[in-house]
Structure 1
């Protein structure tokens, strides 16, 4: 029967002591799933300014008691957007991976015993204790750590870029909701103005003083306004729903907006400065640079891993004749066939792909900036011309209304003048919304005008 010797017990106790001292025990905690209702009101949400990544958000006073302006909407979106919450979870995973990459491999302990099948003088139970360590893993540790750190930095910069895009989306939705409300007011005023014509046409048809052919102009005008109002309501529902989701609000939560739409007007000098420093400021470009650096380290690690894998160990043993021995062992992989050539080829090809991806992204960005800048110049000219034209048609509509009430103008002509004025007003609102969309997109591509005159290094992404 095997009886542990005093030396064996001492070894085991030492091993257990070292293991219990160095190992940290993780405990399990349950995390129930959320029901996904969203916040019931803006008051339930928070927007800590100190944690905001953009200076314009970090310096803005957040006070939802009088309604949310464009900047406060952007602050809430950055702090509470469900999609950004997922991005922050990805950052947590990347940081955990960076932590794991720096950990040393655990040594391997081997314990064995041999028990003689016969009892004889001088025989005893044999045992062997061995402790070994993978030395080759230490050679690639620095590359793994550097690659993981760059990967975590890439995820952080991707999160910062996503925050910038969320700010742009919040500003755009804010402008879209206000614009749709302005369209609704114009259409509602038109519907009320046409109500008296609608009543007159209905009375004339019932009295037989007007045929349906003659009434078609008036009936179509009324029906057209009603259709436009219905379309406007659907578009408003869509924009309002997207804004609620972006802010982390429940679909039926009240949302009061105040102030004017966001209208960035960077100067030509600011645009040129931002464009010149684009590779040093845009988080997505910096993220690609960090990803490329991570891949450089992965390729370096793969090249280091082509050297033979080495395992070094020490052991202590006693045979059945009670002879004690101490020794060491070396294990080495013979680099005859693999030599890690496959992984080296994969990492080198991946590096080339990231290299070309960065060049393509930068070229596409410069092309988009040039196109949007030209579009804004065209839109500004259109808005000036259409604003003058719409003002003239509004004056003609007011004059035609007075003439119709005085009986000096027939109602089909009056309806035609009103229809032209309404079309110009709605077209002007649509142009202004397109102009806002393009200008917000331009600012987002440049990296926000509020950052143009600050440090070229972006801040850390917002964390909660």
Structure 2
């Protein structure tokens, strides 16, 4: 009867083990992700702006109402819109946001239970022996205890990356405006140098003829020839700077190096008022996306520290098992695995997370202080540049009048050669100085507005606490 009992249980048990294995394999296979290749592109950039779009719905509110139509060239706002839509650097930032969101998703997943199945086969049959088996299911309870901390850290991290993306978009808008202004300013300098070079080269035959006739000394001739050579060098140096600015703008817009780029309209010329500056200084920690991103990063670190503190408690693993030995004795029970907190107790990780939190706190305080100082400095610089621009405008106008009056006087022999050259040289220098100051003023005003932060950021749409770490 005992042997018969063994014969009754053995096929059923074996069938149950096989069924368990089949179910486990089926569940694992059904949950597996599918692989799909993603070939690398050529990185050639767009061949022209006509094939690109910049939907207003994807733009910051300050740009969303502007109509994007590159058919008649790009104005400064359309250039900024295209940069936001097509900048390779912003695409990388958006990819980072996708990674952060995937990490937040992963942090919320429950740990998979562990299934163990085994069989033991007797060395020989007979004697009442049968195949033994064991079946167990266990779960890591410690991972469940720290799940909420991991989720909070990952959510704050995703919020930080989202705010960093907003800040990068605002900085890209500022960079597009700045490069637009630089290209137009360098083109204006190039045009002024070209006109001066043409004027000086017109008298080169006169210089050689006067030298041959003995009507001009070599000292005076060299002054004229050197003046033309200096202008040619200035024009070449300015062309190199123009090539760099034009290349930077192409890269920012995601265009191929040879793509035609027609810029139209006036450059960006908006400077914050004193009242706007003071309001921005007061609201700085609550409105600047980069500072809000630092706050989100600090909250993420707080959650990581809480998780490390919780992880100091003994790791616990609980399981349930069922087994049968070779004598056909069935057993059912449970297992508990616990880490004895004798040496480690997660003290190293706690120390690391606590030191990292202090570092982030000090970084935030330093960023706020530096930003306030930079804003005040840029505001003072703009006031100085305003006065300098007004003075240079009047000075350049006077020298331009003198240059125009000197031209007929020199040709009629009423003005000597060195004086005519000196007047032209000073007028050219004043014009170039004025363009340089205008460029510097635009750079400072755009930088100041960028430091003010994007006033269009709606914090309600980005659920990250705005509580800043105490400096």
Deviates further, 162-171 or 355-364: 162-171
Deviates further, 69-78 or 296-305: 69-78
- Do 1:277 and 1:456's aligned partners in 2 also have CA atoms closer than 8 Å? no
Q: Which residue of 2 is the match for residue 149 of structure 1?
A: 155
Q: Which residue of 1 is the match for residue 407 of structure 2?
A: 401
Q: Which residue of 2 is the match for residue 299 of structure 1?
A: 305
Which of the numbers 32, 38, 45 marks the counterpart of 1:31?
38
Q: Which residue of 1 is the match for residue 225 of structure 2?
A: 219
Structure 1: gaps (5+ residues)? none
Separation in 1 of the partners of 2:154 and 2:398? 64
Q: Per the alignment, do residues 458 and 443 of structure 1 end up closer, same or farther by CA in structure 2, a change over 3 Å counting? A: farther
Q: Which residue of 2 is the match for residue 442 of structure 1?
A: 448
Separation in 2 of the partners of 1:280 and 1:15? 56
Q: Per the alignment, do residues 179 and 457 of structure 1 end up closer, same or farther by CA in structure 2, a change over 3 Å counting? A: farther
RMSD over aligned Cα atoms? 1.9
TM-score of the pair, normalised by structure 2? 0.93
Q: Which residue of 1 is the match for residue 468 of structure 2?
A: none
Deviates further, 249-258 or 207-216: 207-216
Secondary structure, aligned partner of 1:265: coil
- Do 1:281 and 1:458's aligned partners in 2 also have CA atoms closer than 8 Å? no
Which of the numbers 291, 294, 299 marks the counterpart of 1:288?
294
Separation in 2 of the partners of 1:459 and 1:174? 31
- Do 2:49 and 2:255's aligned partners in 1 also have CA atoms closer than 8 Å? yes
Cα distance, 1:146 vs structure 2:
0.6
Q: Per the alignment, do residues 329 and 458 of structure 1 end up closer, same or farther by CA in structure 2, a change over 3 Å counting? A: closer
Matched, 1:172 2:210: no
Secondary structure, aligned partner of 1:5: helix
Matched, 1:362 2:348: no
Matched, 1:98 2:104: yes
User: What CA deviation, in whole Å up to 9, does each residue of 1:326-366 have, x standing for no partner?
Assistant: 11111111111111111111100100000100000000000
Separation in 1 of the partners of 2:189 and 2:439? 11
Which of the numbers 361, 377, 382 marks the counterpart of 2:383?
377
- Do 1:136 and 1:311's aligned partners in 2 also have CA atoms closer than 8 Å? yes
Which of the numbers 198, 202, 205 marks the counterpart of 2:204?
198
Which of the numbers 40, 45, 48 marks the counterpart of 2:47?
40
Separation in 2 of the partners of 1:370 and 1:228? 35
Matched, 1:137 2:143: yes
Structure 2: gaps (5+ residues)? 1-6, 464-471
Cα distance, 1:5 vs structure 2:
3.0
Secondary structure, aligned partner of 1:33: coil
Matched, 1:430 2:446: no
User: What CA deviation, in whole Å up to 9, does each residue of 1:407-456 have, x standing for no partner?
Assistant: 322232111111111110100000000000000000001014x63xx746
Cα distance, 1:122 vs structure 2:
2.4
- Do 1:188 and 1:229's aligned partners in 2 also have CA atoms closer than 8 Å? yes
Q: Per the alignment, do residues 67 and 337 of structure 1 end up closer, same or farther by CA in structure 2, a change over 3 Å counting? A: same
Q: Which residue of 1 is the match for residue 271 of structure 2?
A: 265
Q: Which residue of 2 is the match for residue 163 of structure 1?
A: 169
TM-score of the pair, normalised by structure 1? 0.94
Separation in 2 of the partners of 1:51 and 1:264? 23
Separation in 2 of the partners of 1:4 and 1:206? 123
User: What CA deviation, in whole Å up to 9, does each residue of 1:244-272 have, x standing for no partner?
Assistant: 11111111110000001111122221112
Matched, 1:56 2:62: yes
- Do 1:281 and 1:457's aligned partners in 2 also have CA atoms closer than 8 Å? no
Cα distance, 1:205 vs structure 2:
2.0
Secondary structure, aligned partner of 1:111: strand
Secondary structure, aligned partner of 2:198: helix
- Do 2:271 and 2:446's aligned partners in 1 also have CA atoms closer than 8 Å? no
Secondary structure, aligned partner of 1:277: helix
Deviates further, 374-383 or 23-32: 23-32
Deviates further, 297-306 or 257-266: 257-266
